[in-house]
Amino acid sequence: MPICPPSSDSAPSPGLGGRALIFHFHGLALGAAVAAAAAAAYLYRRPGGFRSRAVGIIPARFASSRFEGKPLAPILGKPMIQRTWERVMLASSLDHVVVATDDERIAECCRGFGADVIMTSESCRNGSERCCEALQKLDKNYDIVVNIQGDEPLIEPEIIDGVVMALQRTPDAVFSTAVTALKPEDASDTNRVKCVLDNQGYAIYFSRGLIPFNKSGKVNPQFPYLLHLGIAGFDSKFLKIYPELPPTPLQLEEDLEQLKVLENGYRMKVIKVDHDAHGVDAPEDVEKIEALMRARNIQ
């Protein structure tokens, strides 16, 4: 596989037809919740506003059991990591965007199309730890770190902005993410992570299995199942301690990083968006992405 397929255009590509995204923010309860939010706001208060500076970090690694070299896989003539970076660069809420990798092939490719690159250790166990290391190597301080998976070449910049806004509006949360409607055909796909929320928009649980799961054992076509999208916003202070938190049983069983946040008692704000999710988990997904891009006339 070539290090970086040639590309004549490294400028961010246009949006996906201007589709409206629907964000749902639930108000905090009164009383104790308001007091807690006020205390947290004071704790995190910084010049220029609460959690005002945000950086987007795209962790990328070459090794993968399901799809080796995935970040460099060409999608309509551009490597996947470039497609993702171009979408991220359109987000208005980010002050800076970097790619974090431990592989010089990926780094060389990213520098070639103009991305800033932070080299990280091969010992990083997951994308969150890679983001943490990259954050500490940056020469500026940031209040929010958005971890955008490099295999989301059609990520909507508005979703990134929504995840940032969620952390700015909910001082008691240290983590934010996004969900969308789950397609019935994805109900049993373990690569499609499902999510359930409480009535204030905070995460209760994530699973590779269908949740909730009813006693009939069948998908209920009337139930609004939720699909987790590959994006995570961290309060930067929390991200710095995240790698020190010991692995948790549910995290290890489901192999989902976000469960370590919940199992350790931290709150996670979730936004609901209208998004036709198209992540790349396996080589056969590339053809699906390319077909969709052609149908939408995305260059």
Helix (H, G, I), strand (E, B) or coil at 81: helix
Is 242 contained in some domain?
yes
E strand intervals along the chain: 54-60, 74-75, 78-79, 96-101, 116-119, 144-148, 173-181, 194-197, 203-207, 226-235, 267-272
Is 227 contained in some domain?
yes
The pairing of strands 74-75 and 78-79 is antiparallel
Is 216 contained in some domain?
yes
Whether residue 297 has pLDDT greater than 50: yes
Helix (H, G, I), strand (E, B) or coil at 158: helix
Q: Which two tokens stand for residue 165?
A: 């806004």
Residue 40 or residue 120, greater confidence: 120
pTM for this model (two decimals): 0.80
Q: What is the model's pLDDT at position 44?
A: 40
Is 43 contained in some domain?
no
72-76, 157-161, 269-273: range with lowest mean pLDDT: 72-76
Contact assessment for residue 270 and residue 204, using Cβ atoms and an 8 Å cutoff: no
Contact assessment for residue 196 and residue 272, using Cβ atoms and an 8 Å cutoff: no
Name residues whose C-beta falls within 8 Å of residue 265's C-beta, 6 or more positions apart in sequence: none
Name residues whose C-beta falls within 8 Å of residue 52's C-beta, 6 or more positions apart in sequence: 46, 143, 168
Tell me the pLDDT band of 21, cut-offs 50, 70 and 90: very low
State pLDDT tens for residues 228-283: 998 999 999 999 999 999 999 999 999 999 999 999 999 999 999 998 867 787 78
- Structural domain that includes position 99: 50-296
Is 18 contained in some domain?
no
Nearest CA-CA partner of 180 in 289, 286, 27, 21: 21
Number of domains in the chain: 1
Q: How far is residue 167's CA from residue 144's CA, in Å, rounded to a whole number?
A: 8
For position 141, which CATH number holds?
Answer: 3.90.550.10
Tell me the pLDDT band of 4, cut-offs 50, 70 and 90: low
Is 27 contained in some domain?
no
Helix (H, G, I), strand (E, B) or coil at 15: coil
44-48, 67-71, 173-177: range with lowest mean pLDDT: 44-48
Is 232 contained in some domain?
yes
Q: Which two tokens stand for residue 44?
A: 């995190």
Is 76 contained in some domain?
yes
